């Protein structure tokens, strides 16, 4: 997209809840309906890629069950208005404490998904996090989502982090609002649904996958309009004209492992804006990150996509908030499926909650209109949930009387 078209699109973008919300709500009244509908438009292998967890999905089930188990006792008699949802994160004001988590390859689920999500976030004024392995480039996202743009980095360790440090320069030039270093992908994982659907180490559509694409006209149209997954942020570090598989191979060779704390400190030094470490589940790791000058702790188990045995992030949230909540902004993802879940996360001390998979369900079900509708749904549900428990503000959610059976207590020996 050229600069002028991007600028025009930005100027014409309406803000606030979509005027079509009520009519979309009749057909898609919750994220579950988006998930149920997405496979009708999305080829099976693509849906499986976006929807699956590690192994047999037990981690995802645990994430969902952990949220469902959290119960609140409401207080009545004080509410006069619908609670406002605006929040300040790292010096920027957003319309709600709800964001889009970084994803690699969302454009495999729906061609063009990265930019569709970025535009929806800009319209709604909520954080959008571009995954470094996503389909769009840093520069493209800066054009369509300048006010809400967060970036996630993996560890590009070759040549003493030359690519990682160059990405920081590009992020600075692009005006990225916050940078997240992901630390929870130490090694590759296996996702059985993904493998069974035909996705291997390389992207090589077999006959069945081609048939699945051929019978999904809306998806094909998006492919025609937006093209194949391009890994646009990292593509420029490979040879000009490299194929998608070459870029994937390049990423595999150059990227991987966990940032050591020494490396986190070096990145912290180079990036002048707010920085988060994403994938923290132990309060001691949160304390270590904060001791290095990290302003944000992103509590996450990667949406259950790495290993089934990890604790749900919501179950370690209170311990992490109690360890670092006074010194750092704690945000959370993994298992968010409603504004009610967002309310639970806020009640347990998160400043904001992010979602990944459900935004892929949304774009799969509704194309361009999906992510915006999901943001509207989450905000609407959050307002209603706050009102229901008697909270007049986001902060008051923290006063909720809450039972959290899965909460971890980290004793000295843990």
**Which residues have a catalytic role annotated?**
302
- Cβ proximity to ligand FMN: between 101 and 290 the closer is 101
Q: Is 102 in the site for ligand FMN (CB under 6 A)?
A: yes
| Residue count, binding to ligand FMN (CB under 6 A) | 24
Quick one: which of 152, 226, 254, 340 contacts ligand FMN (CB under 6 A)? Answer: 152
CB atoms within 10 A of CB 386: 27
- Cβ proximity to ligand FMN: between 131 and 339 the closer is 131
Q: Is 404 in the site for ligand FMN (CB under 6 A)?
A: no
Closest residue to ligand FMN: CB criterion:
356
The whole-angstrom distance between residue 341's C-alpha and the CA centroid of its chain comes to: 15
Per-residue exposure over 343-353, b if at least 16 CB sit within 10 Å of its own CB, e if not: bbbbbbbbbbb
Q: How far is the CB of 185 from ligand FMN (least distance, A)?
A: 7
Q: Is 305 in the site for ligand FMN (CB under 6 A)?
A: yes
- Check: CB of residue 397 under 8 Å from CB of residue 96: no
Residues 123 to 142 in contact with ligand FMN, rule: CB under 6 A? 131, 133
Residues 312 to 341 in contact with ligand FMN, rule: CB under 6 A? 333-336
Sign of the four-CA dihedral 356, 362, 367, 371: negative
- Cβ proximity to ligand FMN: between 345 and 366 the closer is 345
Indicate the burial class of 261 (C-beta count within 10 angstroms; 0-12, 13-18, 19 or more).
middle
- Cβ proximity to ligand FMN: between 164 and 303 the closer is 303
- Cβ proximity to ligand FMN: between 34 and 101 the closer is 101
Q: Where are the alpha helices (DSSP H) in 17-57?
A: 21-27, 31-41, 44-51
Indicate the burial class of 411 (C-beta count within 10 angstroms; 0-12, 13-18, 19 or more).
exposed
Distance, in Å, from the CA atom of 260 to the CA atom of 161, rounded to the nearest integer, reads: 12
DSSP 298: E
Residues 258 to 297 in contact with ligand FMN, rule: CB under 6 A? 278
Which parts of this chain interact with ligand FMN (CB under 6 A)?
A: 50, 63, 101-105, 131, 133, 152, 182, 278, 300, 302-303, 305, 333-336, 355-358
């Amino acid at each position: 997209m050229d600069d002028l078209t991007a600028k025009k699109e930005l100027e014409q973008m309406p803000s606030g809840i979509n005027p079509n919300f009520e009519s979309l709500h009749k057909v898609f009244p919750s994220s579950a309906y988006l998930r149920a509908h997405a496979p009708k438009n999305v080829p099976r292998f693509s849906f499986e890629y976006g929807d699956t967890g590690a192994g047999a999905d037990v981690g995802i089930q645990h994430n969902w069950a952990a949220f469902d188990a959290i119960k609140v006792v409401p207080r009545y008699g004080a509410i006069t208005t619908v609670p406002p949802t605006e929040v300040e994160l790292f010096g920027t004001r957003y319309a709600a404490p709800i964001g889009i988590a970084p994803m690699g390859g969302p454009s495999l689920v729906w061609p063009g998904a990265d930019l569709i999500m970025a535009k929806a976030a800009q319209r709604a004024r909520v954080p959008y996090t571009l995954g470094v392995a996503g389909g769009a480039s840093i520069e493209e996202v800066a054009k369509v989502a300048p006010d809400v743009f967060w970036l996630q980095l993996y560890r590009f360790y070759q040549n003493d982090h030359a690519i990682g440090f160059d990405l920081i320069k590009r992020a600075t030039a692009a005006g990225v609002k916050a940078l997240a270093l992901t630390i929870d992908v130490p090694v590759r994982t296996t996702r059985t649904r993904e493998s069974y659907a035909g996705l291997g180490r390389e992207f090589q559509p077999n006959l069945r996958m081609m048939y699945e694409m051929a019978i999904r006209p809306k998806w094909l149209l998006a492919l025609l309009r937006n093209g194949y997954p391009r890994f646009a942020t990292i593509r420029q570090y490979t040879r000009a004209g490299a194929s998608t598989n070459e870029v994937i191979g390049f990423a595999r060779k150059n990227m991987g492992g966990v940032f050591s704390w020494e490396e986190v400190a070096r990145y912290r030094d180079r990036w002048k804006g707010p920085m988060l470490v994403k994938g923290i589940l132990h309060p001691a790791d949160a304390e270590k990150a904060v001791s290095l000058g990290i302003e944000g702790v992103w509590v996450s188990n990667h949406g259950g996509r790495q290993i089934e045995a990890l604790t749900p992030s919501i179950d370690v949230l209170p311990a992490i908030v109690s360890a670092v909540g006074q010194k750092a902004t704690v945000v959370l993802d993994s298992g968010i499926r409603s504004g009610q879940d967002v309310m639970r996360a806020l009640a347990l001390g998160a400043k904001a909650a992010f979602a990944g998979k459900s935004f892929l369900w949304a774009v799969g079900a509704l194309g361009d209109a999906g992510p915006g509708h999901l943001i509207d749904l989450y905000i609407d549900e959050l307002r209603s949930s706050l009102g229901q428990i008697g909270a007049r503000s986001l902060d008051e959610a923290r006063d909720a009387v809450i039972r959290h059976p899965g909460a971890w207590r980290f004793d000295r020996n843990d």
